[in-house]
Amino acid sequence: MESIIHSHRLSTDTLRAENARLRLNASNALSDLLVNTRNNSISSIHPLLSNLSDIQSLNKQLQLNAVQLSKQTKHWSVSITKLQDTLNELGNLEIVGQTMESQLNDIDSAIRNLILLKN
């Protein structure tokens, strides 16, 4: 039982020491950042933040453009489908017209033949 308690204390002490080291490193990094900020020596961060803002703005604009293009594409797709349907109907009407013309020519020929036979 003592060995379990001893190993637990050792592992706990090791974790505490590691956490203390990490806290110290974070504290030192924050101190350095604050000192550098006061001295204005972090001038390279401002362009990065500006670029980030520009990139975010461009990203938003690209997303809006993508949505608009998607809507436009759907509109064009619907228009093309309607045009195809209309062209199919016109093609069908042309066939109907040709059939009617052929039938009228047949009727005309039949009437002419009847007239010729009567004379």
Query: How confident is the model over 48-85, as pLDDT tens digits?
Result: 667 778 888 888 898 999 999 899 999 999 999 998 99
Count of C-beta atoms within a 10 Å radius of residue 52: 10
Same-domain check for residues 56 and 29: no
Token look-up 């604050």 returns 34
Do 19 and 56 sit in the same domain of this protein? no
Q: Which tens digits make up the pLDDT trace of 18-54?
A: 888 888 888 877 777 766 666 665 555 666 667 778 8
The C-alpha atoms of residue 106 and residue 109 are separated, in whole angstroms, by 5
Distance in angstroms (rounded) separating the CA atoms of residues 75 and 83 = 12
Q: What share of the chain is helix, strand, coil (3-state, %, to 5)?
A: 95, 0, 5
What pLDDT shows up at residue 20? 83
Looking at the fold, whether 119 and 91 belong to one and the same domain comes out as yes
Q: Are residues 61 and 103 in the same domain?
A: yes
Instruction: Supply the range of the domain harboring residue 37.
Output: 1-42
